[in-house]
C-alpha cells in the first residue's frame, strides 16, 4: 500500500468531529484527514465557548456528554494536561417559566445527579449580580466544567499522527468518485487519494460533501452564534461565579479572567461561511443582561462568531449512508461537538468497523437509531 495515496479511511474535515473519529480509527486503520482550510479547527471548533454541561441538549446529547466525562477528566497518553476545569452552571427561569425549569430538572437529574433546584434567593447568593426578583427559580449544577478546546483538539491530532495517520491542510475535496469498492477523492490541489470508506465530518459543509458523493442531503442548517467579550469595572470579582444562562437561551455569561464572555445565544440561519458577529444580536443581549443582572458593561472589547450546524431533531448524524456504499456520516453536532466528541468518536469508530455501540454509551440510553442517517 502506498501510504501517501492509499488508505483504509479518508476523513473529510479537521474540526473536533473529524480529528476525534480519525484518531479513534487510526488504532487499527490507515487514516488520512483532509481539511479545506490552511489550519485545522478554523470555523467552529476554534470559536467554541468551551462548556461541558451534562444538563445541556436533548436526551441523546446528554447521554453522549455523560459518556465523555471520564475521557475528558482523565485523558489518555496523547494529552499532557487536564482538559476540564471547574465552572459551575446556573440556569434560571424568568417569571412564569418555573414549570419549564422544573421539567428540565426531572429530565437531567439521572445523568447529572449533582444538579439541584434552587430558589431565587439561593440563585442570587450563587451569582450576586443576578436580580432575584427577575426569576422564578434556577437549576444549579456544581459539577459543570469548561473545556480546554485547543488542548483537546491538539491531543487528537497528536494521537492520529503518532499512530501513522496523515493530516492534509488546504486539501478541500472537489470530487468524490466510487470506483468499484474504493472511493477516489480529489483535492483542490489536484492530488488524488483512495480509500474504501470516506467519513464526512465536514461540519457546515457536510451536505455539500454529500452532493459530491451522490448521497442525499440530511438537511443540515448552519446557524450563526455570536460571542463577545465585555470589559467590566475594576474590582469586579468574577473568579468564583458560575456560568449563567437563561433556560430560554436569551443569553449566557461565562467569566473569563477579568472579562465576561457573553452570547445572545443567537441561531441565525446562514449558508456555510466564515461567520461574522451580528451587532444587533449583541445589542439585544446587552439589553437582556441588563434586565436580568445588575451588570453595567462599559464596552464590548471583542466579538466573533461561529457556525453550529443542526438537522431538524438537533441530534448528530452518525452512520453509513443508507444508499451510497462506503460513505459514512459524522455531522450535525451543532453546539455540542466539544462536550460529546470523546463518546461520539468511539461510537462512530465502532460503527465504521461494523461493531456495536460501546456498552457504556448504550447504558446511558443512546440507541444506534438515534444517530442513523436513515432517520430523516
SS3 of 174-186: the string is EEEEEECCEEEEE
* 201 and 171 together in one domain: yes
Whether residues 291 and 340 share a domain: the answer is: no
> Among 54, 87, 81, which Cα is nearest to 68's?
54
**Domain of residue 283, CATH code:** 3.30.9.10
Please state the pTM of the whole predicted model.
Answer: 0.92
The pLDDT assigned to 375 comes to: 86
- Residue 322 CA neighbour count, 13 Å, CB half: 11
pLDDT at residue 1 is higher than 50: no
Backbone angles phi, psi at 72, to 5 degrees: -70, -30
If one counts every other C-beta atom within 10 angstroms of the C-beta of residue 8, the result is 16
Question: What's the domain range around 337?
Answer: 9-50+149-220+313-375
Q: How many domains does the chain have?
A: 2
Around 114, how many Cα atoms within 13 Å sit in the side-chain half-sphere?
Answer: 13
Tell whether 258 is covered by a domain.
yes
- DSSP-based three-state secondary structure for 99: helix
Question: 356 and 242, same structural domain?
Answer: no
Q: Same domain, yes or no, for 164 and 299? A: no
B/e letters for 342-351, b = 16+ CB within 10 Å, e = fewer, are: bbbbbbbbbb
Judge if 212 and 234 occupy the same domain. Answer: no
- Which of 38-42, 49-53, 196-200 ranks highest by mean pLDDT? 196-200
Q: Which residue has the cell 492534509?
A: 168
Instruction: Indicate if 259 and 334 belong to the same structural domain.
Output: no
Q: What is the pLDDT of residues 65-114, one digit of tens each?
A: 999 999 999 999 899 888 999 999 999 999 999 999 999 999 888 878 89
Q: Is residue 55 part of a domain?
A: no
What is the domain-level CATH number for residue 216? 3.50.50.60
Measured distance CA(22)–CA(38) in Å, rounded: 18
**Mean pLDDT calculated for residue range 121-126:** 96
Per-residue pLDDT, 3: 44
Confirm whether 3 is domain-assigned.
Answer: no
- Of all residues in the chain, the percent with pLDDT exceeding 90 is 80
pLDDT band at 2 (very low <50, low <70, confident <90, very high): very low
Same domain membership, residue 371 and residue 276: no
| Rounded average pLDDT over 290-319 | 91
| pLDDT value at residue 97 | 95
Residues 6+ positions from 205 with CB-CB distance below 8 Å: 13, 36, 272
Domain assignment present for residue 4? The answer is no
pLDDT at 233: 64
Structural domain ending residue among the three candidates 310, 344, 361: 310
Indicate whether 347 belongs to any domain. Answer: yes
Instruction: Name residue, grid cell 468499484.
Output: 180
Please give the residue that has the higher pLDDT: either 306 or 236.
306
pLDDT of residue 176 exceeding 60:
yes
| CA distance readout (Å), 98 to 95, 133, 135, 149, 278 | 7, 13, 8, 33, 30
Mean predicted lDDT score pLDDT of the chain: 92
What are the pLDDT digits (tens) for 224-281? 999 999 887 666 667 789 999 999 989 999 988 788 899 999 999 999 988 999 999 9
Q: What is the model's pLDDT at position 238? A: 75
Q: Is there a single domain that holds both residue 107 and residue 178?
A: no
Asked if 253 and 321 sit in the same domain, the reply is: no
DSSP letters of 303-359?
A: EEEEEEEE-TTS--EEEE-SSSTTEEEEE--GGGHHHHHHHHHHHHHHHHTTPPPPH
Structural domain ending residue among the three candidates 310, 341, 363? 310
What are the grid coordinates assigned to 272, written together?
456555510
Spatial CA neighbour of 146 closest among 222, 227, 83, 215: 83
What digits encode the pLDDT tens for the residues 311-358?
A: 999 999 999 999 999 999 999 999 899 999 999 999 999 999 999 999
How high is the pLDDT of residue 110? 82
Amino acid at each position: 500500500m502506498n501510504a501517501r495515496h492509499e488508505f483504509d479511511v479518508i476523513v473529510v474535515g479537521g474540526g473536533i468531529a473529524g480529528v476525534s473519529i480519525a484518531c479513534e480509527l487510526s488504532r487499527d486503520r490507515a487514516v488520512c484527514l483532509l481539511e479545506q482550510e490552511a489550519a485545522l479547527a478554523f470555523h467552529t471548533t476554534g470559536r467554541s465557548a468551551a462548556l461541558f454541561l451534562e444538563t445541556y441538549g436533548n436526551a441523546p446529547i446528554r447521554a453522549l456528554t455523560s459518556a465523555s466525562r471520564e475521557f475528558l477528566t482523565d485523558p489518555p497518553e496523547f494529552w499532557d494536561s487536564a482538559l476540564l476545569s471547574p465552572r459551575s452552571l446556573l440556569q434560571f427561569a424568568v417569571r412564569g417559566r418555573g414549570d419549564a425549569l422544573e421539567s428540565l430538572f426531572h429530565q437531567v437529574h439521572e445523568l447529572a445527579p449533582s444538579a439541584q433546584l434552587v430558589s431565587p434567593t439561593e440563585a442570587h447568593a450563587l451569582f450576586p449580580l443576578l436580580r432575584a426578583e427577575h426569576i422564578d427559580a434556577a437549576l444549579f449544577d456544581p459539577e459543570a466544567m469548561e473545556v480546554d478546546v485547543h488542548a483537546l483538539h491538539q491531543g487528537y491530532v497528536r494521537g492520529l499522527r503518532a499512530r501513522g495517520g496523515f493530516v492534509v491542510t488546504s486539501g478541500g475535496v472537489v470530487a468524490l468518485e466510487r470506483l468499484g469498492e474504493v472511493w477516489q477523492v480529489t483535492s483542490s490541489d489536484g492530488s488524488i487519494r483512495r480509500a474504501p470508506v470516506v467519513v464526512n465530518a465536514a461540519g457546515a459543509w457536510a451536505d455539500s460533501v454529500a452532493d459530491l458523493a451522490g448521497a442525499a442531503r440530511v438537511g443540515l442548517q448552519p446557524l450563526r452564534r455570536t460571542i463577545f467579550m465585555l470589559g467590566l469595572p475594576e474590582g469586579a470579582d468574577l473568579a468564583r461565579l458560575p456560568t449563567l444562562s437563561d433556560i430560554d437561551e436569551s443569553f449566557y455569561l461565562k467569566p473569563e479572567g477579568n472579562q465576561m464572555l457573553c452570547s445572545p445565544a443567537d441561531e441565525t440561519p446562514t449558508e456555510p461561511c466564515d461567520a461574522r458577529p451580528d451587532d444587533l444580536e449583541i445589542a439585544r443581549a446587552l439589553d437582556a443582561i441588563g434586565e436580568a443582572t445588575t451588570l453595567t458593561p462599559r464596552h464590548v472589547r471583542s466579538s466573533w462568531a461561529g457556525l453550529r450546524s443542526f438537522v431538524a431533531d438537533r441530534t448528530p448524524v452518525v452512520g453509513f449512508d443508507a444508499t451510497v456504499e462506503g460513505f459514512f456520516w459524522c455531522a450535525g453536532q451543532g453546539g455540542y461537538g466539544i462536550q460529546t466528541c470523546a463518546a461520539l468518536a468511539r461510537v462512530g469508530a465502532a460503527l465504521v468497523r461494523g461493531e456495536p455501540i460501546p456498552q457504556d454509551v448504550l447504558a446511558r440510553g443512546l440507541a444506534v437509531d438515534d444517530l442513523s442517517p436513515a432517520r430523516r
